[in-house]
Amino acid sequence: QVQLQESGPGLVKPSETLSLTCSVSGGSISSYFWSWIRQPPGKGLEWIGYIYYSGSTNYNPSLKSRVTISVDTSKNQFSLKVRSVTAADTAVYYCARAPTEWGQGTLVTVSS
């Protein structure tokens, strides 16, 4: 069964770039769509976007101008970058092979 694990800094300063990586094990990343979803503390779920292993992407229009998702098939990983972050970007970030497998999530706090 595919397992996903998020990694990256837990604290990012305002106006900087949030960078996270999702490592996929138990299966190849070279198929399926790979997604990022986030959840502000105590709130609901927001879909950020997805990437296909070939590199094609689709982003939530609400974040599209600030988000990039990329894939590295040689490392079986995909990544998320969110530029110009504010406190509103504070959330638990999940990577997923939606809709079935999700990572355990990683909390990213935006604060100086």
Partner 1 sequence: DIVMTQTPLSLSVTPGQPASISCKSSQSLLHSDGKTYLYWYLQRPGQSPQLLIYEVSSRFSGVPDRFSGSGSGTDFTLKISRVEAEDVGVYYCMQGIHLPNTFGQGTKLEIK
Chain residues that interact with partner 1, rule: CB under 8 A: 44-47, 49, 58-62, 94, 98-100, 102-105
Q: Which residue has the tokens 């990022």?
A: 36
Nearest to 19 by CA among 10, 27, 28, 32: 10
77 vs 103, beta carbon nearer partner 1: 103
7 vs 73, beta carbon nearer partner 1: 7
CB of 40 to partner 1, least distance (A): 12
CB of 93 to partner 1, least distance (A): 11
CB of 60 to partner 1, least distance (A): 4
Beta pairing, strands 11-12 & 106-110: parallel
Got the DSSP string for 35-104?
EEEEE-TTS--EEEEEEETTS-EEE-TTTTTTEEEEEETTTTEEEEEE-S--GGG-EEEEEEETTTEE--
CB of 13 to partner 1, least distance (A): 26
47 vs 53, beta carbon nearer partner 1: 47
42 vs 112, beta carbon nearer partner 1: 42
